[in-house]
């Protein structure tokens, strides 16, 4: 095997390893009191700009990279106080 072929094999291996580490994550955000889905919750991979929002039933799906990714969940509520 010449150097060019070996280099191509190495590059294909490294690119494949990078793609293999990305994986889909999905779930549902529920209200603790009512057990109903919460729409509009921001789901963000901590330390990145990767994120999504839950749908009307509280479901979300996104791709994360790395085994130690941490998800952040944020819900902003505006309510009227008397």
Please indicate whether residue 77 or residue 35 has the higher confidence score (pLDDT). 35
Task: Enumerate residues 6+ apart whose C-beta is below 8 A from 11.
Answer: none
Show the beta-strand stretches assigned E in 1-82. 22-28, 42-45, 51-53, 59-65, 71-74
Please indicate whether residue 80 or residue 75 has the higher confidence score (pLDDT). 75
What does the domain layout of the chain look like in residue ranges? Answer: 23-82
- The residues pairing with 43 across neighbouring beta strands, listed in sequence order, are 52, 73
Least-confidence region, from 2-6, 27-31, 34-38, 64-68: 2-6
Report the predicted TM-score, pTM, of the whole model to 2 decimal places: 0.67
């Amino acid at each position: 095997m010449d150097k060019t072929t070996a280099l191509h094999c190495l590059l294909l291996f490294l690119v494949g390893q990078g793609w293999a580490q990305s994986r889909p994550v999905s779930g549902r955000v529920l209200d603790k009191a009512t057990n109903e889905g919460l729409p509009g919750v921001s789901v963000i991979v901590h330390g990145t700009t990767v994120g999504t929002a839950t749908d009307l039933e509280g479901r979300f799906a996104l791709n994360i990279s790395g085994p130690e990714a941490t998800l952040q969940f944020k819900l902003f509520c505006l309510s009227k106080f008397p």
